[in-house]
């Protein structure tokens, strides 16, 4: 029975009730040991009714075994795996050891866990209970939390309990489970000991903090006279801070031995076998040797090479029978286990596991044992186990460095990495490095650990491991260069882009020069891009060399640059990875061929989604979202950036977070959403400026200038554009200045600065010298129309435009001029086109401006119907787009990291919103509203 926990149970009941209605969610209980978190979880599970309950508990000695907790929670429902999309199914099977191969990216595995839970939840719902989350292995924790953050449309409630300050990333604020109120504490004590005097209750509450476990344990050790208040309570209180130390000490030596083995390994059969072997004094295999004793120490040494106990001593040095049997002829461990169970400290669960009644008991057992005894237990367990368990037991038995043990941990790390358990792999590799005698090999393993930590979404740990690797690799120039390249990539993703340039530019390999050029492009350091391009030109011909060298030479005005870019693009058909397609997009962009640049960015997104290494996806989506915005597809741009932002935050890619925030700010500006624009721009600048990511700082500043321009605040917009043009590398970006020149000309003209408008036009003409697409010429013509008040230039722009959104902006400017020149009849068609386009795009400020001008021109027609897809949420819009591409629900689920049931749920809501009833009709609507992308600049 629970006492005084109505608020905590209310929080659990609420999330379970929402899950029953298909509005799943998660809740975290946080409190100290003994606060009653497990009792709350048990009570919640007992209220499940028809809902299915899956449960796992973190175990400290399994926290280094990849997917140990996930295996426990998912094993009962593996029969539903065939319902999952193939990539998700294969990832889960690999993680659970049901199939060979790799689970791939952790996002993919997390989506598979979500899908499997969703299948299990049908039709009555599911409660997934995760106790002692602080000890759940990292691979399982990542997958479970990924699923927990995406339960909005599922019949799933996930309940976590965690001790102390252990992080539970991305979850709502935890429900604190504190000490009991005094009346509830009195009830608890009364249920066990009868009514106690109020002074006794108050003193017990004060001394224990009303911790339910402490209250129960300490009260049980008091005499009747003390409980009745006839005698004072003892000082100090029995049990002290550990509570269970005295009870562990009271066990017989054989029972303490079984308890110690169980504190290291929970499997009942292993516990009994290891305890018997230790009690019989059998020599354990030394770390690094085989079971046949090859390379073993002499008969008098244990696994650590120290003197072993004699055949008549147990692991604690206590006398035992020579055969490992008790006086009745039974195996000694059987009687010792019975004593341990009778003590109430531990018990056998499901006939296969030894489980302590509370984690603090396990801690007390460990504290009571000598380090040498713990090592002996690990050594014997290493003899009795295989695979990852053997590797970790060997590590636990090791004293000093040992290459064979290190190699076993490296193999375990490889298996964890193949299953997508990057966090676990990082831990194993870091421990392997500690055990590695050779400095260069140690550095290699630390470097690999850093990569695994990075892929596991732990950039801080990755940087620390890489710093250690750097110190160890001083004698190996090649390895030092690999480490330097990783440092540069880490900096580029989450640190200072300028520092990334400095680190990466020190290398001579082409891939490092390419990384350095990418970093320099983020900073906005044109001189560095040019220099790196010239250095790349010295390398043999190939796609990457031509792209990097071509960009640098083009920026330097070298006539050879465009030719190299075109040669690089000619090889685009052979590309296979997302990074290659992004370089192709960059090459096309520098040639002014926006349609091809957009196509390459889209291909990069598709490859990143299905490659199994979707960690690249947040970065790729930066470019996809920008292309959608520039095409005037604001809802789609927002949807892509929201997805990218979520993934970037999970991956720890701070600079990509800034990119998506900046794009969202620009979308908000076009919609006239001042508060959202200003907030998102501030958040982007708060990352981009200190990190010297000038490209993203420039886009965030551009969003604020664009907001002023959209709202007709021309003077303020002009001031902001002027500041953008003056900002140096790290705070601004030359490409932003170049590509926002049409907006800057418009702001200057609106502010009455004709000289400034002409100067910007002249610069834009120089910058656009290599542009060959119709859209680039249309934008230049519009700028001339503004600066020169030329109707002919506006007319030329309208003839050339291939981007309907930019065409609408030109039509609005021309219509305004015609209307003010007292030619309303000619103005109306242009203004009507602009109004309809802006309304469909959701660009409300410009739509209002066009509507006002149209009314002033004598037309007050009906507003055009809004784009029907505007009724969809960002997630629904993403799904609709993939339906239009011909993907099935399973394929969509695989790409968006959802469950197939979630995709079907969204389709069920999409159809009535749009007044349709089939995928075919949905695809037709999406295609009709998807205008071609043709603008030649991608901010």
* Residue 805 within any structural domain of the chain: yes
Number of domains in the chain: 6
* Residue 39 within any structural domain of the chain: yes
* Residue 444 within any structural domain of the chain: no
761, two tokens: 């036009």
Residue with tokens 């554009």: 721
Whether 485 and 557 share a structural domain: yes
Residues in a beta bridge with 787: none
pLDDT at position 42 is 94
CA dihedral 730, 732, 733, 739 (to 10 degrees): 160
Whether 856 and 873 share a structural domain: no
Residue with tokens 């044992």: 369
Looking at 832, 851, 866, the residue that finishes a domain is 866
* Residue 457 within any structural domain of the chain: no
Whether 135 and 232 share a structural domain: no
pLDDT at position 9 is 94
HSE (side-chain half, CA atoms, 13 Å) at 203: 18
Whether 13 and 147 share a structural domain: yes
Residue range(s) defining the domain that contains residue 787:
768-866
CB 515 within 8 A of CB 534: no
Whether 859 and 882 share a structural domain: no
- Domain containing residue 541: CATH number: 1.25.40
Whether 24 and 61 share a structural domain: yes
344, two tokens: 């109430």
Question: What are the backbone dihedrals phi and psi of residue 313, each rounded to the nearest 5 degrees, phi first?
Answer: -120, 150
- Domain containing residue 890: CATH number: 1.10.10.10
Q: Give every residue of the chain whose pLDDT is below 50, as ranges.
A: 241, 282-323, 326-330, 931-939
* Residue 468 within any structural domain of the chain: no
Whether 33 and 171 share a structural domain: yes
Report pTM. 0.80
Which residues 6+ apart lie within 8 Å of 658 measured at CB?
Answer: 683, 684, 685, 687, 688, 691, 693, 696, 697, 700
pLDDT at position 863 is 62
Q: What percent helix, strand, coil does the chain show, rounded to 5?
A: 65, 5, 30
> pLDDT (tens digit, 9 = 90+) per residue, 119-128?
999 889 999 9
For 210-235, b/e burial (b = at least 16 CB within 10 A) is bbbbbbbbbbeebeeeebeeeeebee
- 127 by Cβ neighbours in 10 Å (0-12 / 13-18 / 19+) ranks as buried
Whether 838 and 911 share a structural domain: no
110 secondary structure, DSSP code: H
Q: What is the DSSP string of 258-284?
A: HHHHHHH--BHHHHHHHHHHHHTTPPP
* Residue 417 within any structural domain of the chain: no
- Domain containing residue 37: CATH number: 3.40.50.300
* Residue 22 within any structural domain of the chain: yes
Whether 234 and 273 share a structural domain: no
Looking at 315, 347, 369, the residue that finishes a domain is 369
Whether 15 and 104 share a structural domain: yes
Whether 47 and 129 share a structural domain: yes
* Residue 625 within any structural domain of the chain: no
Mean pLDDT of the chain: 86
d(CA 204, CA 213): 12
Number of C-beta neighbours around residue 46 at 10 A: 9
> pLDDT (tens digit, 9 = 90+) per residue, 742-763?
999 999 999 999 999 999 999 9
Looking at 211, 241, 271, the residue that finishes a domain is 241
729, two tokens: 């590398």
pLDDT at position 455 is 82
pLDDT at position 288 is 45
pLDDT at position 390 is 94
Instruction: Characterize the bridge pairing of strands 126-131 and 52-57.
Output: parallel
423, two tokens: 């966090």
d(CA 178, CA 364): 23
Whether 18 and 103 share a structural domain: yes
């Amino acid at each position: 029975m629970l006492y005084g926990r109505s608020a905590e149970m209310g929080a659990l009941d609420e999330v379970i009730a929402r899950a029953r209605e298909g509005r799943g969610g998660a809740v975290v209980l946080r409190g100290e040991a003994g606060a009653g978190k497990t009792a709350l979880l048990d009570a919640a599970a007992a209220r499940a009714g028809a809902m299915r309950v899956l449960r796992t508990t973190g175990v400290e000695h399994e926290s280094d075994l990849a997917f140990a907790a996930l295996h426990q929670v998912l094993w009962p429902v593996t029969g539903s795996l065939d319902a999952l999309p193939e990539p998700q199914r294969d990832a889960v099977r690999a993680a659970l050891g049901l199939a060979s191969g790799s689970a791939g990216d952790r996002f993919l595995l997390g989506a598979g866990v979500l899908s499997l839970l969703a299948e299990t939840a049908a039709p009555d719902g599911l409660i997934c209970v995760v106790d002692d989350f602080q000890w759940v292995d990292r691979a399982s924790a990542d997958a479970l939390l990924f699923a927990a953050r995406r339960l909005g449309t599922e019949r799933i409630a996930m309940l976590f309990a965690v001790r102390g300050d252990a992080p539970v990333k991305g979850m709502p604020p935890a429900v604190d489970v504190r000490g009991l109120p005094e009346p509830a504490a009195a009830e608890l004590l009364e249920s066990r000991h009868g009514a106690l005097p109020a002074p006794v209750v108050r003193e017990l509450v004060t001394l224990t903090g009303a911790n339910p476990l402490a209250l129960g344990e300490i009260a049980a050790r008091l005499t009747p006279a003390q409980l009745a208040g006839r005698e004072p309570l003892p000082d100090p209180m029995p049990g002290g801070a550990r509570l269970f130390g005295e009870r562990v000490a009271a066990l017989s030596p054989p029972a303490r031995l079984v308890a110690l083995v169980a504190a290291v390994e929970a499997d009942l059969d292993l516990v009994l076998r290891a305890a018997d072997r230790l009690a019989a004094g059998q020599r354990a295999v030394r770390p690094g040797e085989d079971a046949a004793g090859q390379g073993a120490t002499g008969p008098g040494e244990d696994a650590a090479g120290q003197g072993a106990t004699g055949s008549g001593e147990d692991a604690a040095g206590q006398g035992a029978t020579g055969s490992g049997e008790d006086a009745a002829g039974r195996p000694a461990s059987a009687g010792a286990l019975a004593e341990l169970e009778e003590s109430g400290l531990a018990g056998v669960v499901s006939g296969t596991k030894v489980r302590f009644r509370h984690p603090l008991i396990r801690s007390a057992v460990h504290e009571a044992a000598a380090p040498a005894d713990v090592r002996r237990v690990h050594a014997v367990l290493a003899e009795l186990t295989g695979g990852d368990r053997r590797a970790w037991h060997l590590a636990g038995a090791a004293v000093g460095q040992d290459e064979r043990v290190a190699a076993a941990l490296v193999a375990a790390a490889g298996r964890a990495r193949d299953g997508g358990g990057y966090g676990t792999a990082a831990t194993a590799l870091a421990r392997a490095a500690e055990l590695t005698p050779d400095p260069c090999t140690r550095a290699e393993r630390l470097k690999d650990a850093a990569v695994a930590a990075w892929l596991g979404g732990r950039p801080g740990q990755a940087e620390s491991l890489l710093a250690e690797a750097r110190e160890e690799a001083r004698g190996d120039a090649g390895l030092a260069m690999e480490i330097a390249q990783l440092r540069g990539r880490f900096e580029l993703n989450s640190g200072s882009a300028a520092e990334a340039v400095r680190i990466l530019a020190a290398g001579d390999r082409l891939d490092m020069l390419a990384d350095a050029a990418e970093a320099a492009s983020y900073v906005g350091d044109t001189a560095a891009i040019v220099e790196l391009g010239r250095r790349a030109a010295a390398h043999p011909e190939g796609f990457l060399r031509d792209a990097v060298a071509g960009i640098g030479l083009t920026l330097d005005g070298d006539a050879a640059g465009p030719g190299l870019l075109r040669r690089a693009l000619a090889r685009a058909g052979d590309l296979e990875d997302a990074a290659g397609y992004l370089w192709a997009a960059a090459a096309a962009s520098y040639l002014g061929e926006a349609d091809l640049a957009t196509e390459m960015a889209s291909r990069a997104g598709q490859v990143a989604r299905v490659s199994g290494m979707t960690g690249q996806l947040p970065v790729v989506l930066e470019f996809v979202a920008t292309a959608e915005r520039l095409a005037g597809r604001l809802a789609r741009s927002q949807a892509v950036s929201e997805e990218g932002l979520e993934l970037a935050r999970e991956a720890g890619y701070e600079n990509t977070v800034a990119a998506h925030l900046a794009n969202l700010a620009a979308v908000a500006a076009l919609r006239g959403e001042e508060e959202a624009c200003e907030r998102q721009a501030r958040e982007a600048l708060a990352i981009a400026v200190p990190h010297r990511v000038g490209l993203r700082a420039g886009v965030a500043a551009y969003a604020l200038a664009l907001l002023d321009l959209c709202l007709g605040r021309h003077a303020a917009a002009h001031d902001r554009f002027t500041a953008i043009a003056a900002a140096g590398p790290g705070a601004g970006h030359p490409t932003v200045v170049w590509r926002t020149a049409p907006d800057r000309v418009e702001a200057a003209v609106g502010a009455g600065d004709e000289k400034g408008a002409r100067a910007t036009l002249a610069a834009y003409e120089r910058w656009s010298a290599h542009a060959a697409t119709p859209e680039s010429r249309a934008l230049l013509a519009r700028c001339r129309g503004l600066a020169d008040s030329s109707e002919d230039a506006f007319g030329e722009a309208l003839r050339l435009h291939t981007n309907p959104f930019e065409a609408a902006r030109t039509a609005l400017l021309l219509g305004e001029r015609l209307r003010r020149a007292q030619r309303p009849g000619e103005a109306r068609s242009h203004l009507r086109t602009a109004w309809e386009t802006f309304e469909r795009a959701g660009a409300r400020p410009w739509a209002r401006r066009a509507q006002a001008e149209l009314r002033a021109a004598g037309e007050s027609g009906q507003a055009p119907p809004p784009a029907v897809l505007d009724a969809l949420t960002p997630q629904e819009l993403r799904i609709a787009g993939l339906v239009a591409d011909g993907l099935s629900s399973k394929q969509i689920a695989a790409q968006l990291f959802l469950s197939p049931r979630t995709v079907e749920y969204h389709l069920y809501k999409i159809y009535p919103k749009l007044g349709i009833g089939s995928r075919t009709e949905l695809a037709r609507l999406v295609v009709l509203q998807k205008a071609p992308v043709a603008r030649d600049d991608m901010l």
